[in-house]
Structure 1
């Protein structure tokens, strides 16, 4: 009796399953990581550097549009890291977890800068000082007044906020600065505040307030080395402008 070969069920038994193509962004991630490792982080554009950071936080989607949208929304890479979580989550693809990780990354950078500054003689490390001030204050939305308290070797003892304010004013009390200087046994200090308007040009009130603080500290033999104003366009030095 002749054996009849059975036909495959529905004609699909021997049909290979189609292989899903890899998402286009998967290869892009590999290439970007290779570029970073082989050529260094400085070889990456700002949006590419932000992409590599987002890889860890957003594992299964193309993050290039998210990275570019963040920089477009906040103006720069530093602007992204300085942004408030409530503003970050307004960008498509950014949730509370990603916003939290971005803020943690920003704080790591700020603390690393502070450690670098603490290990050096502040007044002779102008680039380290201005980098630190810019990271801390250039994107701050409200005016903030800070004091860098220095020891006899002009090394940083503490960086403290001495006044919070509105978009154009932060109350400052010279006697409070003098009291805190004595508590920390500071020999000198540098005044720092920001201009949220983006223009670091000092106002008449800025100049008068600086003089009041210097007068309060003169009797204590505590020197004011400089007053720095941070803004998006840069950092202005009172001493370099001949105002101290």
Structure 2
């Protein structure tokens, strides 16, 4: 028993040393997950558990997107480990999207997509968010205006315009996700974009873009000549 304990401690120490010395590129996906699990499961071998999780969910991203109850369905994953794993996604989202001291400036479609992708990619429910910007395209604030079902989300044009004016914003950028993973816009998405374009022009505010987030590169209405 003591020999097994010593081996486990030595293996974890070597794994941790490799990460500290060379970063995440020195470890396979299962090894990164294995190392993470050691902080919730201190006295058991976590390599097999890491491999079980990847076999069940497919990728690291899917593991971190899983609900705690689904994680606990894996034999050996208890509430403490499930909670630790489920914390990774919201922490990553806050790291990427939390407003820094200097305002984020959306200079391009790519920057706008990156700003929202970590927050919306992989969600099981459709959400519609709006970034309100000043005259230099610096983000003043963002809001989630709608949470819908997996295949439908209703956004009222008037609501978007009213919130833009309430923030005294110069313009806005609309973004929503497709839980199916396919960012191809639907006919409803196209109709909404045109209605918002007309409404924004009427009140003199800029409609920067409408982005659709999926598993692949986001779809940009502006980049595709639809706005």
Q: Same fold (TM over 0.5)?
A: yes
CA distance in 1, matches of 2:139, 2:78: 37
Task: Map 1:41-120 to 2 at 5 A.
Answer: 41-115=24-98, 119-120=103-104
Partner secondary structure for residue 110 of structure 1:
helix
Equivalent position of 1:170 in the other structure: 153
1:123 is matched with 107
The Cα of 1:116 is off from its aligned counterpart by: 6.5
Give the Å deviation of 1:147: 1.1
The Cα of 1:177 is off from its aligned counterpart by 0.9
Distance in 1 (CA, whole Å) between partners of 2:214 and 2:166 is 30
Q: Which runs of 5+ in 1 are unaligned?
A: 1-18
CA distance in 2, matches of 1:125, 1:236: 10
Matched residues in 2 for 1:133 and 1:123: separation?
Answer: 14
Q: Taking structure 1 as reference, are residues 169 and 121 closer, same or farther at Cα in structure 2, changes over 3 Å only?
A: same
Q: Which TM-score applies when normalising by structure 1?
A: 0.83
Does 2:14 align with 1:22? Answer: no
Give me the whole-angstrom Cα distance separating, in 2, the residues matched to 1:160 and 1:89: 33
Aligned length: 225
TM-score by length of 2: 0.89
Alignment-derived partner of residue 9 in structure 1: none
Task: Provide the residue aligned with 2:18 in structure 1.
Answer: 35
Distance 1:191 1:54 in 2: 38
CA distance in 2, matches of 1:97, 1:83: 15
Q: Contact conserved, 1:193 with 1:229, CA < 8 A, in 2?
A: yes
TM-superposed CA distance for 1:57, in Å, is 1.2
**Structure 1 residues 35, 207: CA separation in 2 closer, same or farther (over 3 Å shift)?**
same
Q: What whole-Å deviation, never above 9, does each CA across 1:144-171 have from its counterpart, x for those lacking one? A: 1111222222122222211111111111
Q: From the CA coordinates, give the structure whose radius of gyration is larger.
A: 1
What is the CA–CA distance in structure 1 between the aligned matches of 2:191 and 2:72, rounded to whole Å? Answer: 41
Query: CA RMSD of the aligned region, Å?
Result: 2.1
